[in-house]
Amino acid sequence: MKFTVFPAVDILDGKCVRLLKGDYDFISTYYEDPLEPAMLWQETGSEWLHIIDLDGAKTGEPVNIDLIKKIINKTDLKIQIGGGIRSVDTAQIYLEAGVDRVIIGSKALEDPEFAKEMIEVFGKDRVVVSVDGKDNKALTDGWLEDSGKMLTEITEELVTVGVEHFIFTDTDKDGTLLGPNLEMALILAKLTPKGLILAGGIGSNQHVLDIAAQAENGLIGAVIGRALYTEEVDLKVLLEELPKS
């Protein structure tokens, strides 16, 4: 199974930023124009881009749609996007603009029927559910609220309604560079039909290689954020080191 690296571009106030553990009080700004890192990751060899509209996450609206259209038009990258996608209409705006997949999170965790509706409208391959949390507790609403469900429980529920594509972020690891939660990711991957993309905590090329070594056990991709911008991860070298199939 092919392993995919997803460089992350988080957009806030029109800029490329990174948060620490999802906290808006701990923001690092890396590029004034998010197109710049998008083009850099394409030139380095990436096929995909993982975009989070942090303004959209706050408002529930596609705040940075014009910026995202610019990235779509100026690059050949496949794009998955999340951040405040809480309706079919918002998802449709992104997909009609040329995004390949939309990421839904809190609303799907709170109401799996929403995920089912999205899949019925757009198809299984265009919808990804982000299952986020810590200590097997699924968190929602910007990682501030305990959903009352275990990560394993909600993943099984979502599979039952037809979800095939998942991202897991350990919220305690996000932005720390201290290493991903492989143990929890492997547990969740076993519950999914097509495997799991892992995010949170990646701080070195070796961390990604360790994830890729578990591709046969369902870890099919990694989202890399802060480590790219602080150069703890050398994307060019990493892509050369990863298995080609």
Beta-carbon count within 10 A of 130 CB: 23
Stated as kind and residue range, the H or E segment containing 50 is strand 48-53
234 is catalytic: no
Cβ–Cβ under 8 Å, residues 69 and 97: yes
SS3 46: coil
Q: Residue holding tokens 């099919």?
A: 220
Q: What is the DSSP letter of 180?
A: -
Copy the structure tokens of residue 8.
């992350």
Selecting among 53, 55, 132, 170, the annotated active-site residue is: 132
Cβ–Cβ under 8 Å, residues 44 and 75: no
SS3 221: strand
The number of residues making up the chain comes to 245
Contacts of 65 (CB under 8 A, 6+ apart): 93, 94, 97
Burial class (CB in 10 A: 0-12, 13-18, 19+), 158: buried
Cβ–Cβ under 8 Å, residues 1 and 195: yes
141 is catalytic: no
- Known catalytic residues? 10, 132
